[in-house]
Amino acid sequence: MEPADMENYARLCGWTLAQGHARSGDAIAIAGYLGASDTFDDALGAFAETYADQNERDYAALQEAAASGRIQAQTGV
């Protein structure tokens, strides 16, 4: 798959997933459950930062494994 095609495919998958989640549940009930505080927003932000940090560590480990020859990886595809 060409990089541009992969990007388009990822965008389509993300959009489809977002649409499915946006239509699940009762928005008013969920908003009432979450309340007006920033607690949920802060928790979601903290999770996203932690997840991004883990992705960076995983990518560094992948690069190290490829550089050492433990795995084969093709770059520049």
Is residue 73 within 8 A of residue 66, CB to CB? The reply is yes
Task: Give the start-to-end residue ranges of the domains of the chain.
Answer: 1-34, 37-70
Q: How confident is the prediction along the chain (77 residues), in pLDDT tens digits per residue? A: 899 999 999 999 999 999 888 777 788 888 898 999 999 999 999 999 999 999 999 999 999 999 999 999 988 88
DSSP state letter for 2: -
Distance CA 12, CA 22 (A): 15
What is the structure's pLDDT at 36? 92
Identity at 65, one-letter amino acid code: A
Give the C-alpha separation, 49 to 35, whole Å.
23
The pLDDT of residue 51: 97
Can you tell me the distance from the alpha carbon of 51 to that of 41, in angstroms, rounded to the nearest whole number? 15
The Cα 14–Cα 12 span in angstroms is: 5
